[in-house]
Amino acid sequence: MNQESDPALELDLSLMARIQAGDRAAFTEFYDLHSGKLFGLICSILQDSREAEDVLQEAFVYLWKQAATYQPERGKPLSWVILIFRHKAIDRVRARARQHRLVEQAAAEPIPTLSEEGAADEGALRDERREIVRDALSKMPADQREAIQFAFFRGLSQMQISENLGLPLGTVKARIRRGLLKLRQSLKGKL
Protein backbone atom coordinates (compact mmCIF):
# COMPACT_ATOMS: atom_id res chain seq x y z
CA MET A 1 0.00 0.00 0.00
CA ASN A 2 1.85 3.05 -1.02
CA GLN A 3 1.32 6.38 0.60
CA GLU A 4 0.48 8.37 -2.52
CA SER A 5 -2.52 6.23 -3.47
CA ASP A 6 -3.80 5.37 -0.02
CA PRO A 7 -7.36 6.74 0.29
CA ALA A 8 -7.43 6.05 4.04
CA LEU A 9 -4.32 8.18 4.49
CA GLU A 10 -5.76 10.90 2.26
CA LEU A 11 -8.91 10.92 4.38
CA ASP A 12 -6.91 11.12 7.62
CA LEU A 13 -4.82 14.00 6.26
CA SER A 14 -7.92 15.83 5.12
CA LEU A 15 -9.67 15.32 8.45
CA MET A 16 -6.60 16.40 10.39
CA ALA A 17 -6.30 19.60 8.35
CA ARG A 18 -9.93 20.38 9.10
CA ILE A 19 -9.49 19.52 12.78
CA GLN A 20 -6.55 21.89 12.90
CA ALA A 21 -8.89 24.55 11.59
CA GLY A 22 -11.33 23.87 14.42
CA ASP A 23 -13.85 21.82 12.43
CA ARG A 24 -15.81 19.76 14.95
CA ALA A 25 -17.56 17.72 12.25
CA ALA A 26 -14.15 16.52 11.07
CA PHE A 27 -13.18 15.72 14.65
CA THR A 28 -16.36 13.68 15.06
CA GLU A 29 -15.63 11.80 11.83
CA PHE A 30 -12.09 11.10 12.99
CA TYR A 31 -13.48 9.81 16.29
CA ASP A 32 -15.92 7.51 14.49
CA LEU A 33 -13.14 6.17 12.28
CA HIS A 34 -10.49 5.53 14.88
CA SER A 35 -11.94 5.43 18.41
CA GLY A 36 -12.27 1.63 18.28
CA LYS A 37 -8.58 1.13 17.53
CA LEU A 38 -7.55 3.70 20.11
CA PHE A 39 -9.86 2.38 22.81
CA GLY A 40 -8.62 -1.15 22.14
CA LEU A 41 -5.05 0.07 22.53
CA ILE A 42 -5.78 1.88 25.79
CA CYS A 43 -7.72 -1.09 27.17
CA SER A 44 -4.84 -3.42 26.38
CA ILE A 45 -2.43 -1.15 28.26
CA LEU A 46 -4.62 -0.35 31.26
CA GLN A 47 -6.53 -3.65 31.58
CA ASP A 48 -9.42 -1.67 33.02
CA SER A 49 -12.21 -0.54 30.71
CA ARG A 50 -13.60 2.19 32.99
CA GLU A 51 -10.20 3.76 33.43
CA ALA A 52 -9.62 3.34 29.70
CA GLU A 53 -12.77 5.38 29.04
CA ASP A 54 -11.30 8.22 31.13
CA VAL A 55 -8.03 8.10 29.25
CA LEU A 56 -9.77 7.91 25.87
CA GLN A 57 -11.73 11.04 26.71
CA GLU A 58 -8.68 12.84 28.05
CA ALA A 59 -6.64 11.90 24.99
CA PHE A 60 -9.29 12.95 22.46
CA VAL A 61 -9.71 16.33 24.17
CA TYR A 62 -5.92 16.68 24.15
CA LEU A 63 -5.92 15.82 20.44
CA TRP A 64 -8.51 18.53 19.75
CA LYS A 65 -6.48 21.13 21.64
CA GLN A 66 -3.10 20.10 20.27
CA ALA A 67 -4.05 19.27 16.68
CA ALA A 68 -2.31 22.44 15.54
CA THR A 69 1.04 20.92 16.49
CA TYR A 70 0.67 18.06 14.00
CA GLN A 71 2.96 18.47 11.01
CA PRO A 72 2.15 16.29 7.97
CA GLU A 73 5.81 16.11 6.95
CA ARG A 74 6.62 14.45 10.30
CA GLY A 75 4.46 11.40 9.62
CA LYS A 76 0.98 9.98 9.18
CA PRO A 77 -1.82 11.40 11.30
CA LEU A 78 -2.83 8.02 12.72
CA SER A 79 0.73 7.13 13.75
CA TRP A 80 0.99 10.45 15.53
CA VAL A 81 -2.35 9.94 17.24
CA ILE A 82 -1.61 6.35 18.30
CA LEU A 83 1.60 7.43 20.03
CA ILE A 84 -0.21 10.26 21.82
CA PHE A 85 -2.91 7.90 23.09
CA ARG A 86 -0.37 5.27 24.09
CA HIS A 87 1.59 7.94 25.95
CA LYS A 88 -1.54 9.01 27.83
CA ALA A 89 -2.28 5.42 28.78
CA ILE A 90 1.30 4.76 29.86
CA ASP A 91 1.23 7.94 31.96
CA ARG A 92 -1.84 6.56 33.70
CA VAL A 93 -0.17 3.18 34.28
CA ARG A 94 2.88 4.85 35.77
CA ALA A 95 0.78 7.12 37.98
CA ARG A 96 -1.22 4.13 39.13
CA ALA A 97 1.95 2.19 39.82
CA ARG A 98 3.37 5.04 41.83
CA GLN A 99 0.21 5.22 43.87
CA HIS A 100 -0.56 1.57 44.39
CA ARG A 101 2.69 -0.24 43.63
CA LEU A 102 0.90 -2.40 41.11
CA VAL A 103 3.67 -2.57 38.57
CA GLU A 104 4.68 -6.10 39.42
CA GLN A 105 1.09 -7.29 39.42
CA ALA A 106 0.45 -5.69 36.03
CA ALA A 107 3.61 -7.17 34.63
CA ALA A 108 2.49 -10.64 35.63
CA GLU A 109 -0.65 -10.34 33.54
CA PRO A 110 -0.60 -11.80 30.02
CA ILE A 111 0.15 -9.49 27.11
CA PRO A 112 -3.05 -9.22 25.04
CA THR A 113 -1.47 -7.82 21.92
CA LEU A 114 -2.23 -10.44 19.33
CA SER A 115 -5.14 -12.17 20.95
CA GLU A 116 -8.78 -11.55 20.17
CA GLU A 117 -9.79 -10.86 23.74
CA GLY A 118 -11.69 -7.65 24.29
CA ALA A 119 -12.95 -7.63 20.72
CA ALA A 120 -16.27 -5.89 20.28
CA ASP A 121 -17.49 -5.50 16.76
CA GLU A 122 -14.68 -7.20 14.94
CA GLY A 123 -16.63 -7.50 11.72
CA ALA A 124 -17.25 -3.77 11.50
CA LEU A 125 -13.81 -2.75 12.65
CA ARG A 126 -11.67 -5.15 10.65
CA ASP A 127 -8.51 -3.51 9.52
CA GLU A 128 -6.22 -4.72 6.81
CA ARG A 129 -3.34 -2.85 8.40
CA ARG A 130 -3.77 -4.79 11.60
CA GLU A 131 -3.30 -8.04 9.72
CA ILE A 132 -0.17 -6.71 8.03
CA VAL A 133 1.34 -5.75 11.39
CA ARG A 134 0.36 -9.04 12.98
CA ASP A 135 1.91 -10.93 10.12
CA ALA A 136 5.13 -8.93 10.51
CA LEU A 137 5.16 -9.60 14.25
CA SER A 138 4.54 -13.29 13.80
CA LYS A 139 7.60 -13.57 11.56
CA MET A 140 9.84 -11.89 14.09
CA PRO A 141 12.04 -13.90 16.50
CA ALA A 142 9.96 -14.55 19.61
CA ASP A 143 12.45 -12.97 22.01
CA GLN A 144 12.47 -9.70 20.06
CA ARG A 145 8.69 -9.69 19.70
CA GLU A 146 8.28 -10.23 23.42
CA ALA A 147 10.71 -7.42 24.23
CA ILE A 148 9.06 -4.76 22.05
CA GLN A 149 5.54 -5.76 23.04
CA PHE A 150 6.52 -5.67 26.69
CA ALA A 151 8.09 -2.25 26.19
CA PHE A 152 5.16 -0.87 24.21
CA PHE A 153 2.26 -2.09 26.33
CA ARG A 154 3.52 -2.23 29.91
CA GLY A 155 4.68 1.24 30.83
CA LEU A 156 7.64 -0.13 32.78
CA SER A 157 11.14 1.31 33.00
CA GLN A 158 14.09 -0.39 31.29
CA MET A 159 15.15 -1.88 34.63
CA GLN A 160 11.67 -3.15 35.41
CA ILE A 161 11.43 -4.81 32.01
CA SER A 162 14.80 -6.42 32.66
CA GLU A 163 13.62 -7.72 36.04
CA ASN A 164 10.30 -8.95 34.72
CA LEU A 165 11.84 -10.78 31.78
CA GLY A 166 14.72 -12.06 33.94
CA LEU A 167 17.27 -10.77 31.44
CA PRO A 168 20.32 -8.51 31.73
CA LEU A 169 19.51 -4.87 30.92
CA GLY A 170 21.88 -4.87 27.93
CA THR A 171 20.08 -7.86 26.43
CA VAL A 172 16.70 -6.18 26.84
CA LYS A 173 17.92 -3.01 25.13
CA ALA A 174 19.47 -4.97 22.28
CA ARG A 175 16.31 -7.00 21.72
CA ILE A 176 14.18 -3.86 21.68
CA ARG A 177 16.54 -2.24 19.18
CA ARG A 178 16.67 -5.27 16.90
CA GLY A 179 12.94 -5.90 17.20
CA LEU A 180 11.91 -2.37 16.34
CA LEU A 181 14.37 -2.16 13.43
CA LYS A 182 13.11 -5.50 12.12
CA LEU A 183 9.53 -4.32 12.37
CA ARG A 184 10.44 -1.16 10.47
CA GLN A 185 12.04 -3.26 7.76
CA SER A 186 9.09 -5.65 7.54
CA LEU A 187 6.51 -2.87 7.29
CA LYS A 188 8.38 -0.66 4.86
CA GLY A 189 6.09 0.22 1.96
CA LYS A 190 3.22 -1.86 3.33
CA LEU A 191 1.46 0.68 5.56
Partner 1 sequence: MIDERHEELASLYVLDLLEAAERAAFEQELRSSQELAGLVRELEVSAAALGSSITPVAPPARVKAAILDEIKLPGESEKVVPFVRSSVIAWALAAGFALLAGIETKERLNMYDQYMQTRSASVKLAQEKNQLQTEIAKLESENHFSQLKIATLGALVDTYAKGSVVVLWDEQKQTGVIKVTNMPPPAADRDYQLWVVDSTYPQPVSAGIFRVEASGMVRAEFHPVKPIHKATTFAISIEQKGGVPQHKGPIIMAGQ
Per CB under 8 A, 14 contacts partner 1? yes
The single residue among 6, 8, 9, 37 that binds partner 1, judged by CB under 8 A, is: 37
Cβ of residue 98: shortest distance to partner 1, in angstroms?
A: 15
| CA–CA dist 109, 178 (Å, integer) | 25
Per CB under 8 A, 35 contacts partner 1? yes
Interface pattern 146-185 for partner 1 (x via CB under 8 A): --xx-xxx---xx--x-----------xx-xx--xx-xx-
> Residues 41 to 60: which contact partner 1 by CB under 8 A?
41, 43-44, 49, 53, 56-57, 60
Per CB under 8 A, 139 contacts partner 1? no
The single residue among 1, 22, 98, 105 that binds partner 1, judged by CB under 8 A, is: 22
The single residue among 20, 47, 165, 167 that binds partner 1, judged by CB under 8 A, is: 20
> Residues 87 to 126: which contact partner 1 by CB under 8 A?
87, 90, 112-122, 124-125
For partner 1, give the closer residue by CB, 104 or 127. Answer: 127
> What DSSP letter does each residue of the chain carry, written as one string?
--GGG-HHHHHHHHHHHHHHTT-HHHHHHHHHHHHHHHHHHHHHHHS-HHHHHHHHHHHHHHHHHHGGG--GGG--HHHHHHHHHHHHHHHHHHHHHHHH--HHHHHHSPP-TTS-TT-SSHHHH--HHHHHHHHHHHTS-HHHHHHHHHHHHH---HHHHHHHHT--HHHHHHHHHHHHHHHHHHHTTT-
Q: Is the dihedral of CA 77, 78, 79, 83 positive or negative?
A: positive
Number of residues that bind partner 1 (CB under 8 A): 86
The single residue among 27, 92, 103, 140 that binds partner 1, judged by CB under 8 A, is: 27
